[in-house]
Amino acid sequence: MRRAVCPGSYDPATNGHLDIIERAASQFDEVVVAVLINKTKSYLFEVSDRMAMLKEITEHLPNIRVDSWHGLLVDYCTVNGIATIVKGLRAVSDFDYELQMAQLNYQLSGVDTMFLPSKPHYSYLSSSVVKEVATYGGNVGHLLPATVHQRLIARLSERP
């Protein structure tokens, strides 16, 4: 079975993430969308909420599984028999960091990374910019799956 992982923070998942997940799902037998937990980062959404949103937006894809992991991505791959990491590349500015991670991950474990170019109209899109625009009342409805958009508006309204 050809199995891949699409790792990320997904805080929250955007249309750009979903595009990469859908395209990975068409290339592999099974794709695990893994929410990676980094203790040093602060997140808007709990891991359980990020996973719930990912499950909702990937319901139409039968070969997707959603999971979470605390630790090195390559350890997750080894434990779960995953040989390939799939990452989206939005712009040249992503490349330096992603190349370093891909080379490091390969050196650590033999797990390879495949890059998918993001669609050009998603090249500026990130969870961070979406959160910032939405925090100040800007419209981000066209950048997110509908269910994620609803949850984002609800979550921001809970904050002081």
Grouping H, G, I as helix, E, B as strand and the rest as coil, residue 35 is: strand
* CB of residue 105 to ligand PNS, shortest distance in Å: 6
The set of catalytic residues is 17, 41, 90, 127
Binding site for ligand PNS (CB under 6 A): 7-9, 36, 72-73, 101, 104
User: Which one, 101 or 156, has the nearer CB to ligand PNS?
Assistant: 101
Query: In sequence order, what are the beta bridge partners of 8?
Result: 35
**DSSP codes joined into one string, 47-110:** HHHHHHHHHHHTTT-TTEEEEEEES-HHHHHHHTT--EEEEEE-SHHHHHHHHHHHHHHHHHHS
CB of 138 to ligand PNS, least distance (A): 21
CB of 36 to ligand PNS, least distance (A): 3
Selection from 2, 29, 8 nearest residue 98 by Cα = 8
- By beta-carbon proximity to ligand PNS, the closer residue of 36 and 82 is 36
Nearest CB to ligand PNS, comparing residues 24 and 36: 36
